[in-house]
Amino acid sequence: LATPPSPPGQDLQGWRVPVDCVRASELCAAEGSCSSRYRTLRQCLAGRDRNTMLANKECQAALEVLQESPLYDCRCKRGMKKELQCLQIYWSIHLGLAEGEEFYEASPYEPITSRLSDIFRLASIFSGMDPATNSKSNHCLDAAKACNLNDNCKRLRSGYISTCNKEISATEHCSRRKCHKALRQFFDRVPSEYTYRLLFCSCKDQACAERRRQTIVPSCSYEDKEKPNCLDLRNVCRADHLCRSRLADFHANCQASFQSLTNCPGDNYQACLGSYTGLIGFDMTPNYVDASTTSITISPWCSCKGSGNLEEECEKFLRDFTENPCLRNAIQAFGNGTDVNLSP
Amino acid sequence: GASFGLYFPRKEYSENVYIDQPAGTPLLRIHALRDSHGETAHFHLCQNLIISRARSHENHWFQIREKMGLLYLSRSLDREDFNMLSVGSWMPLSKVMLYVFLSSHPFQEKECDSATRTTVVLSLINATAPACSSLTARQLCFTEMDLSFHIKENKPPGTFHQLQLPSAHHLCQNLSITYKLLAAEGLPFRYNENTTGVSVTQRLDREERERYELIAKCTVRDGFREMEVEVPFLINVLDEDDSPPFLPNGTDTADAVVEFNRKEGTVLAALTVYDADTTPIYPLESSRKKYTGTIVTDDPWISETFRVEHIFDEIHFSPNGSQVRGTQHEYKLVLNKSISVTEHRSFQLDVLVNDTEFNGPEKSVMLHFNVSILPVSIQFPNTTYRFTVNRNAQRFAQIGKICIENCMKFRGVNITYKLLSPNVSCYAVGILQGREDRYGSLYVNDSSVLLRPECKEIQYTVQATDKQSRKHTKTLLTVVLEGTLFKKEEDCPDSCAMSKHLAECEECGGLGVLTGRCQWRQGSGKGITTNYSTCTPSIKTCPDGTCDIVESKDPAICPQDCTNGNIIGGHGKGTGNLGIKSGHGICYCFPRQNCYCEKDDIKEQFCDEVCKTVI
């Protein structure tokens, strides 16, 4: 695989190689002073804000010792074994330090270094059957066919579709919790060659765009009786370690920047699409808002109605989904089969 | 609470810092707005720098002028400092954060945690400061961050921003950089050319206008060269509770009638109150506490029996062309417990709505509900019941329904139906009632009785009882047996649902049949439809999409409504995973085993586009 391009003017020597937080906590536990400081710090952080904590001598000492330990820069991998445990360790240190009210939080995940072109190369293996030259072809239907020809993809896809469509009672038309879990399994365990084709296929007609919108069974996984306020939804998401991490990762990888050609951080489309996909199956599940073929609008199930004095902040949060040039460019680039060619 | 004292007109400021910039370099200017006249702002930094990735370091480099709000470099950052501050950072760009605190009196130590604060994000650029000639007009005039501010309504005027960037001005003294504020005519904002400060000139009223969109224009002159940039300059007006509640169209009264629906949770009536202020739905509970609705009563029965539910929603007012947000509060009168059928009274119930944070005389309004609780009678319709049963009917055949007057309208009234023992020898029918059913279903309990010639007309007494009040009522029920017995076909299955064709269906009987023969339902629909072809004991009750109390007695009666087993072939499952809601072609079942839905004729056309999209 291609080596990740280094950012211009940056040497890699000063960067530490990260250890995952599960491993880092094992290393810390094996060492007497580290493990006792770690325990102290966790107690310091419980229910206190940063400044109160720093005023305490014992807490400050613990913090200084831990800054030198591998726990401090540890990170987690998407879909790793013990992912939740890893994130719990991460947030046990960062929750109080990173300040809960921060608009964008740092991602606890390792950066994605692969690129879209890697996916295209693999995708071409089974694209032989695609009538790609035919202008009437429905790419979303082709993606479903490709998935059905792969046992793993077919099994997990029909798994989430049947779970999300299972009617519970006259008042509860599905179990959202189980549907979300099945969706997470699908997107965690099926390679992105398959999942991206289903999620980000390009469409020329409405039937295709509707199929694309229906990919995650939005009637169960996305829509709800009422639309909550986006800041309220963000709070609900931040109360859950996994959702919080995936949201932070989305912000890190899809935050629009006007300094790059693609509007994406590091011109990395793959990283943005990956962290978008990582949000599916959580409270912040995003989806296409309609079956329009001309414009792509993405949003979580929330609105800024009732924001009071926080309307500006709410709209800023929502715009990262609805009017995000990085996300839109990434989706379109995937649909067109184009990636940025970065000169070394 | 939070509306007192000085405040920052923006949440975040940003600037770049380069290697080896000399001590004394000004970085950026922060302003504070006042809550009342006579306040003076004091700015202060806390001792720690927040480095991205949750690391912090003691601040040795940055200071702020306490009264002026100018952040400057007090010590030059050398390469070593840079390396230390960017360790552990993954991003190509290192950022450090500082909190600036604000107080109306000079700072003493350790006041950092309680005061109002704003964030300064400093980007550490791993290079020496660029030459002025290499900078674009955009970089010389404005920072990366949007020019977006918030100003509280009803507060004294003041300067809230300085357009000139102190760092660019300091660095590029040879350049002439001038600003203008466009689209500000007639608006309460003024630009001062000497200081490049922008101020608000009068108290703002959010209920009149809540957003101002201006344009900041910058001109850079470098010898003969001239460059211009324009960026949006936005001001949002923050709301405070300065409007009293009012009634739309003056309506403060509503009727609330309790009759057949007496169930706990029933909404009896609702009244609406408007407020020109906004009410955040987040956090919900605190907004509910700010706007209360309480029942005014001394009567413990009333306070136990009713409650008020408050919901609110954002609406728009247009005071002078521009839209501003306001709130619609809805107060619903709700039954707090189920009311007995014997209860009978009427009274006026008052609800006091209170806008607790509004400081004025009209902070509350009174809502009135005219409540009438009517009794309902538990009685059967005048006529007695008379049902006829065919002697060829089989066990679980559904004969009819028993229902007291208005029973289907009842909510929160639990009526149970019972048959009082008839002449014992001819006990042919029984009554069943589902958990949620408001009626009793009469069905054949013992089909052997139907065969006995001595049983012709059977008299029963039906009793209906209201659980809560123990009130009951009785009526007479006559079941007449009619028809002549015919010989049963041999080799017939005991379930109608097992027959796959019209012929075998109609010549056999099965559990639940009314006349001794099953009935065929001929579906007409194409593809997977709710109107599929099937064989059933009675088209009226099966398949109707619900597994009723009689059908659920035996899986052989109507598996089409009740099966929880596999269904093979094109189909859709019913509610709660029970039964076949829709099927393809003919659906037939083997009770306690599988059901099958399939098209009978082989010459069916190939799967077309409609069929494909279902997959």
Q: Which residue of A has its CA nearest to B127?
A: A9
pLDDT given for residue B115 in this prediction: 63
Task: Report whether A282 contacts A311 (CB < 8 A).
Answer: no
Using CA atoms, how far apart are residues B365 and B278, in angstroms rounded to an integer? 18
Q: Which parts of chain A sit beneath pLDDT 70? A: 1-17, 46-55, 95-101, 120-136, 340-344
Asked if A54's CB is within 8 angstroms of B48's CB, the reply is yes
| First-last CA distance in chain B | 58
Asked if B282's CB is within 8 angstroms of A229's CB, the reply is yes
Residues of A whose CB is below 8 A from B154: none
A94–B contact, CB cutoff 8 A: yes
Q: In sequence order, what DSSP letters do the residues of B55-123 get, joined into one string?
A: EEEE--SEEE-TTT-EEEESS---HHHHHHHHTT--SSSEEEEEEEEEESS---TT-TTTSEEEEEEEE
Q: Which residue of A has its CA nearest to B146?
A: A316
pLDDT given for residue B1 in this prediction: 34
Asked if A170's CB is within 8 angstroms of B575's CB, the reply is yes
CA distances from B503 to B197, B508, B520, B560 (A): 94, 9, 9, 19
| Residue length of chain A | 344
Using CA atoms, how far apart are residues A209 and A257, in angstroms rounded to an integer? 28
Residues of A whose CB is below 8 A from B278: 306-309
pLDDT given for residue B91 in this prediction: 53
pLDDT given for residue A123 in this prediction: 56
Specify the amino acid at residue B592: R
Asked if B283's CB is within 8 angstroms of A232's CB, the reply is yes
pLDDT given for residue A175 in this prediction: 93
Using CA atoms, how far apart are residues A286 and A126, in angstroms rounded to an integer? 28
- SS3 letters across B540-559: CCCCCCCCCCCHHHCCCCCH
Distance of CA B522 to the CA centre of its chain: 43
* Strand stretches in B129-224, DSSP E: 147-152, 158-162, 176-182, 189-192, 197-200, 211-222
Asked if B86's CB is within 8 angstroms of A14's CB, the reply is yes
Chain B 314-343, CB below 8 Å of chain A: which residues? 314, 325
pTM attached to this predicted model? 0.86
Q: Give the relative orientation of helices A206-214 and A139-148 as an angle to the nearest 10 degrees.
A: 40
Nearest CA distance, B507 vs chain A (angstrom)? 36
Q: Which two tokens stand for residue B309?
A: 């539910």
Q: Could you give the percent of chain B with pLDDT greater than 70?
A: 93
Asked if B573's CB is within 8 angstroms of A167's CB, the reply is yes
Q: Which two tokens stand for residue B167?
A: 């760092």
Of the candidates A324, A208, A203, the one whose C-alpha atom is nearest the C-alpha of residue A273 is A324
Q: Measure the CA dihedral A91/A95/A100/A106, to 10°.
A: -60
Task: Report whether A218 contacts A301 (CB < 8 A).
Answer: no
Residue that has been written with the tokens 């945690």 in this structure: B113
Lowest mean pLDDT of B128-132, B305-309, B311-315, B419-423, name the range: B419-423
pLDDT given for residue A172 in this prediction: 85
Asked if A14's CB is within 8 angstroms of B88's CB, the reply is no
Write the residue in B54, B112, B577 that is nearest to A94 by C-beta. B54
A189–B contact, CB cutoff 8 A: no
pLDDT given for residue A99 in this prediction: 52
Cα R_g (chain A), whole angstroms: 22
Write the residue in A93, A168, A312 that is nearest to B236 by C-beta. A312
| pLDDT > 60? residue B440 | yes
Q: Which residue of B has its CA nearest to A17?
A: B88
Residue that has been written with the tokens 């109150």 in this structure: B273
B573–A contact, CB cutoff 8 A: yes
Asked if B280's CB is within 8 angstroms of A310's CB, the reply is yes
Q: Which two tokens stand for residue B519?
A: 């009935």
Q: How many CB atoms lie within 10 A of CB B299?
A: 11
* Strand stretches in B434-518, DSSP E: 440-444, 457-466, 472-482
pLDDT given for residue A131 in this prediction: 45
CA distances from A70 to A332, B380, B543 (A): 39, 80, 66
Residues of B whose CB is below 8 A from A309: 150, 238-239, 278, 280
- What lies within 8 Å, CB to CB, of B474 at 6+ separation is B380, B420, B461, B462, B463, B464
Of the candidates B192, B549, B577, B578, the one whose C-alpha atom is nearest the C-alpha of residue B398 is B549
Q: Which two tokens stand for residue A266?
A: 């590091």
Task: Report whether B53 contacts B81 (CB < 8 A).
Answer: no
Cα B228–Cα B234–Cα B237 angle in degrees, nearest 5: 160
- Tell me what the mean pLDDT of segment B557-561 comes to: 94
pLDDT given for residue A14 in this prediction: 40
| Sheet containing strand B595-598, strands side by side | B567-568, B595-598, B586-589
Grouping H, G, I as helix, E, B as strand and the rest as coil, residue B339 is coil
Q: Which two tokens stand for residue B141?
A: 């005039």
Write the residue in A73, A97, A266 that is nearest to B88 by C-beta. A73
| Sheet containing strand B364-373, strands side by side | B253-258, B364-373, B345-355, B291-296
Residues of A whose CB is below 8 A from B239: 308-309
Mutation for B interface: A48, A63, A65, A67, most B CBs within 10 A: A67
Asked if A51's CB is within 8 angstroms of B113's CB, the reply is yes
| Sheet containing strand B267-275, strands side by side | B267-275, B322-335, B306-320
Grouping H, G, I as helix, E, B as strand and the rest as coil, residue B481 is strand
B385-390 and B322-335 strand pairing: unpaired
A319–B contact, CB cutoff 8 A: no
CA distances from A268 to A280, A326, A337, B294 (A): 20, 9, 14, 57
Q: Which H/E stretch holds residue B313?
A: strand B306-320
| Mean per-residue pLDDT over chain B, rounded | 89
pLDDT given for residue B105 in this prediction: 81
Asked if A235's CB is within 8 angstroms of B278's CB, the reply is no
Residues of B whose CB is below 8 A from A205: none
Q: Which two tokens stand for residue A18?
A: 């990260």
Quick one: DSSP state of residue A14?
G
A306–B contact, CB cutoff 8 A: yes
| pLDDT > 70? residue B264 | yes
Using CA atoms, how far apart are residues B502 and B522, in angstroms rounded to an integer? 9
| pLDDT > 60? residue B615 | no
B53–A contact, CB cutoff 8 A: yes
Write the residue in A14, A310, A312 that is nearest to B83 by C-beta. A14
pLDDT given for residue B383 in this prediction: 79
Q: Which residue of A has its CA nearest to B83?
A: A14
Lowest mean pLDDT of A41-55, B521-535, B554-568, name the range: A41-55
Write the residue in B55, B278, B613 that is nearest to A72 by C-beta. B55
- Tell me what the mean pLDDT of segment B169-173 comes to: 91
Asked if A94's CB is within 8 angstroms of B113's CB, the reply is no
Confidence of residue B71 (pLDDT cuts 50, 70, 90): very high
| First-last CA distance in chain A | 15
**pLDDT tens digits, A65-102:** 777 788 877 889 988 889 999 999 888 877 655 454 57
Grouping H, G, I as helix, E, B as strand and the rest as coil, residue B31 is coil
Residues of A whose CB is below 8 A from B283: 232
pLDDT given for residue B46 in this prediction: 76
- Tell me what the mean pLDDT of segment B422-442 comes to: 86
| Residue length of chain B | 615
pLDDT given for residue B567 in this prediction: 92
B595-598 and B567-568 strand pairing: parallel
- What lies within 8 Å, CB to CB, of B99 at 6+ separation is B45, B46, B50, B112, B117, B118, B119, B120
pLDDT given for residue A13 in this prediction: 39
Write the residue in B56, B126, B279 that is nearest to A308 by C-beta. B279
Asked if B56's CB is within 8 angstroms of A97's CB, the reply is yes
Q: Which two tokens stand for residue B124?
A: 């550490």
A307–B contact, CB cutoff 8 A: yes
**pLDDT tens digits, B26-50:** 999 999 999 888 888 999 887 778 7
Residues of B whose CB is below 8 A from A98: 54
Q: How many CB atoms lie within 10 A of CB B142?
A: 20
Cα R_g (chain B), whole angstroms: 40
